[in-house]
Amino acid sequence: MGILAEFREFAVRGNVIDLAVGVVIGAAFGKIVTALVENLIMPFIGLLTGGIDFSRWAITLRAAQVDAAGEEIPALVLGIGNVVNTIVQFVLVAFAIFIAVRFINRLKRQQAEAPAEETPAEPSEEVKLLREIRDGLRKPEAPIV
């Protein structure tokens, strides 16, 4: 089998396509959560904490400087606000996934608990033979003349 044929077989396998769909949906979901955190949740948290804008919250370790050649050396800054935003985003994504998995597991559990309407199974040959013997013994015998 050539490498192209093997790759084609791999690429069209159901699991690979499912994974690709999951990655695309996950990326879109990540963008939604990022927008939700940055535009709705963090401003509200900032309001509750006295107007702190977490996206600009940073600690400057070294201020910007100009070296002897006249070139600017940028400031050395720890972006704590970005870390807080990322943590909030992670918690929201993890919680949303937890709720989705919990819902799916509950549906699976309900389907497993529901009694399946089964058609009665065909009796085995032994059971059929024993029924014939039983029915034959029940018949009244004809009188002997």
* Residue 102 belongs to some domain of the structure: yes
Q: What is the pLDDT along the chain (145 residues), one digit of tens a residue?
A: 688 888 887 777 767 778 888 889 888 888 888 888 778 887 887 788 787 777 778 888 888 888 888 889 888 888 888 888 788 878 887 887 888 889 888 988 888 887 666 667 888 888 888 888 888 888 666 666 5
Taking residue 85's Cβ as centre, other Cβ atoms within 10 Å add up to: 20
pLDDT of residue 139: 67
Going by their DSSP bridges, the two strands 65-66 and 76-78 should be labelled as: unpaired
- Residue 27, domain extent: 3-53+82-114
Closest to 91 measured CA to CA, from 33, 52, 31, 133: 33
pLDDT of residue 138: 81
Domain count, the chain: 1
* Residue 60 belongs to some domain of the structure: no
pLDDT of residue 6: 84
pLDDT of residue 67: 86
* Residue 88 belongs to some domain of the structure: yes
* Residue 33 belongs to some domain of the structure: yes
Q: Is the pTM of this model over 0.75?
A: no
* Residue 28 belongs to some domain of the structure: yes
pLDDT of residue 32: 86
**Which CATH number does the domain housing residue 15 bear?**
1.10.1200.120
* Residue 19 belongs to some domain of the structure: yes
Taking residue 84's Cβ as centre, other Cβ atoms within 10 Å add up to: 17
pLDDT of residue 56: 78
* Residue 86 belongs to some domain of the structure: yes
> Distance between CA atoms of 8 and 2, rounded to whole angstroms?
10
pLDDT of residue 142: 60
pLDDT of residue 143: 62
